[in-house]
Amino acid sequence: MSHTGESGAEARAETGGEEATGEGSAATGRHWRAGAAGGLIAGAVMGVVLHGALGLMPTIGALVGVETAAAGWAVHLFNSTLFGALFVAVFDRAFFDDLRGDVGGCLSLGVVHSALLGVITGGLLLPTALAIEGATALPVPTLPVPGLTVGFEFGAVIAVAHLLYGLVLGRVFAAFTLAEGEIGWLPIDPVDR
């Protein structure tokens, strides 16, 4: 992948197709590692919000039969890493080369990815898991605000957590795949990525 800020398509055109030289497979491997690392780091940030605001980690652990914060963290971080790899599987395509070519585009793709994950996990997977367990209501500790605001606040915290996941995932992905995406405190030379 080009380190000059060009889109992937422009870089391949100039080099005659980096896949032919073996550089494409190195870039692809770098993208998978960046997606997994980004998912893990973003999952940690998201987990702090979910657990700090809603105390959700034991509930997440309960989805696999172990209702502890440690189990919840393990499940959440594992899934976050997988979802980071899914980010690469979905968005590491020629169609998205222009967006993946700069930090802002990577952030945008991260936010779209996390919004879709929020809809799929919150709207499909979580209700399905609850139905399998025979639960009739969401067994989630909510914020200590009575009345109708509890549902709104729960949704707002989940939305903010997913937004943060997407922003951190996109930013970490950019840091590991783009020369201009470098993060100052990250001791990695962009050329070696």
pLDDT band, residue 67 (cuts 50/70/90): confident
Domain-located, residue 1? no
Domain-located, residue 12? yes
pLDDT digits (tens, 9 = 90+) for 98-136: 888 888 899 999 999 999 998 888 777 767 776 776 665
pLDDT digits (tens, 9 = 90+) for 21-47: 455 677 778 889 999 999 999 999 999
Q: Is a pLDDT exceeding 70 seen at residue 9?
A: no
User: CA separation (Å) from 173 to 3, 77, 100, 102, 180?
Assistant: 14, 17, 9, 10, 12
134 dihedral zone (left: phi>0; alpha: psi -120 to 50; beta): left
Domain span at 145: 8-192
Our count of domains for the chain comes to 1
pLDDT digits (tens, 9 = 90+) for 44-66: 999 999 999 888 898 888 878 88
Domain-located, residue 62? yes
- How buried is residue 80: exposed, middle or buried, by Cβ count under 10 Å (0-12/13-18/19+)? buried
Domain-located, residue 2? no
Domain-located, residue 44? yes
Domain-located, residue 138? yes
Q: Considering the entire predicted model, what is its pTM?
A: 0.75
Angle between helices 103-120 and 23-54 (to 10 degrees): 50
Structural tokens at position 64:
């696999």
Domain-located, residue 105? yes
Domain-located, residue 136? yes
